[in-house]
Amino acid sequence: MGLLLIAAPVTLIVGLIIWPVGLSVIDTLTVETPEGLAFSLDAYRFFFTDEFSLLSLWITVQVAVICTVLLLLISLPIALYLRFADTRLASYVQALALFPLFVPSILLAYALIRTLGPNGTVDTILSAVGLPKIPSPYLTPWGPIIGLVWDNLPLTLLIILAGLGNVSRASIEAARDAGAGSLTVLWHIILPRISSTLLVAASFVILGLFSAFTLPYLLGPAVPEMMGPFMRRTIIDVDDPLQARTQAVVTFVICAAFAMFYVHSIARTRRERAS
């Protein structure tokens, strides 16, 4: 009965994800010859020797790392406040932090362009008070970083809040009664209990950032691009579907490594709870 219940979703995963990925991998590892298909690494050899491909991969990794660090640094204090605060202000803080969850990415990109872009709201205010204009993050790598941090804040916050649910007030009060300060409680009581949650949150964020398209496409520079816009330009503007599939496979391999790390973390957490 259990296998019957999971048959439908497993079939969908195999048909819509695993099968197309397998075909893409085979296409990038083979080349047509008069004798038929032959094994070849030419597609990957071109990718890892092409300057634009490597720059796009590098900028994607950079943006993913910076966004992940910023999201954890921003979300953790907010989550701690929401978990242990009993004031009415906490509900307003939570509503404000979760607000980006209900804003489409394209509207967020337009708002950032109108606010932080050249001659936007910030430039207008600075000019009105006689201050010099600031360099706009629009069409620079910091444009997607700002947009992606804002867009992924709710998910990261909710994951950390769920992990903080395992931290009891009694353990914190006992540590305070023993003379522990706030930093000691955070370092020795809270962080050890949510370390796996932070790793899961980081894995989710990185997977989402590697698959991001709208915000990097609208806010990022033309060169180098993140992998999503770069794949789109390769298959549409350059008309090179083989290289687009190669870029997709490379991205998939990187994401699969983080996915395996996430699955391992979940399995370890379940074993710890079972024991």
pLDDT one-digit tens code per residue, 103-131: 888 998 998 899 888 888 888 898 888 88
262 and 234 belong to one structural domain: yes
11-15 own/partner pairs: CB under 8 Å, 24+ apart: none
Residue count of the chain: 275
On average, the pLDDT of the chain sits at 87
Would residue 45 count as lying in a domain?
no
- Of the candidates 136, 105, 108, which has an alpha carbon nearest to the alpha carbon of residue 122? 136
| Spatial distance between the Cα atoms of 162 and 269, rounded to a whole number of angstroms | 14
241 and 112 belong to one structural domain: yes
What confidence tier does 255 reach under pLDDT thresholds 50, 70, 90?
Answer: confident
Task: Give me the helices (H) in 85-223, please.
Answer: 88-98, 105-116, 121-128, 142-164, 169-177, 182-185, 191-210, 214-219
| Spatial distance between the Cα atoms of 78 and 32, rounded to a whole number of angstroms | 56
28 and 72 belong to one structural domain: no
The whole-number pLDDT of residue 11 equals: 93
Question: What's the pTM value of the predicted model, to 2 decimals?
Answer: 0.86
Residue 247 predicted with pLDDT over 90: yes
Residue 173 predicted with pLDDT over 90: no
Enter the tokens of residue 128.
């009105």
**Contact yes or no for 226/67 (Cβ under 8 A):** no
18 and 87 belong to one structural domain: no
The DSSP call for residue 31 is E
100 and 232 belong to one structural domain: yes
Would residue 55 count as lying in a domain?
yes
When divided into structural domains, the chain yields a total of 2
Average pLDDT, stretch 156-183? 82
19 and 115 belong to one structural domain: no
Report the CATH number at residue 108. 1.10.3720.10
5 and 109 belong to one structural domain: no
The whole-number pLDDT of residue 144 equals: 92
80 and 20 belong to one structural domain: no
Would residue 240 count as lying in a domain?
yes
Distances (CA, A) of 204 to 130, 150, 180, 207, 263: 44, 15, 33, 5, 11
What residue numbers bound the domain in which 22 lies? 1-40
pLDDT one-digit tens code per residue, 35-71: 777 888 899 999 999 999 999 999 999 999 999 999 9
